[in-house]
Amino acid sequence: MTSADGLFEIALIIALIALAAGQILSMARLVIGPTVADRILALDTMVINALGLIVVLGIYQGVKVYFEVALLVAMLGFVSTVALARFILRGDIIE
């Protein structure tokens, strides 16, 4: 029992570190990304990484309200990605 719990704690720490490293690496792509599509893609990846951070933090602290937050972040991330791409494609968001 205790060994499984210890393994779970270690896996939580590893997941948090991996997500934070992913956030930093995709921020590097956001800064150097030569094209506009790369920057939109890096922002989308950062939103998804933040979603993963929220989910892992919710497991870590055992708080249920984090899942509503994660759902909201997922919706906002999708809408903002589509809005950015739409602005590049059409020069306007709502025609």
Interacting residues with another protein (CB under 8 A): 1, 4-5, 7-8, 10-12, 14-15, 17-19, 21-22, 25-26, 28-29, 34-38, 40-42, 44-45, 48-49, 51-52, 55-56, 58-59, 62, 64, 67-68, 70-71, 74-75, 78, 81-82, 85-86, 88-89
Contact 77, 47 (CB under 8 A): yes
Q: Which helix (H) or strand (E) holds 60?
A: helix 36-61
d(CA 33, CA 50): 20
Q: In angstroms, what is the minimal distance from the CB of 13 to another protein?
A: 10
Contact 49, 58 (CB under 8 A): no
Toward another protein, which CB reaches closer, 4 or 94? 4
User: Smallest distance, Å, CB 24 to another protein?
Assistant: 9
Please say which residue, 59 or 94, places its beta carbon nearer to another protein.
59
Q: How far apart are CA 52 and CA 80, in angstroms?
A: 18
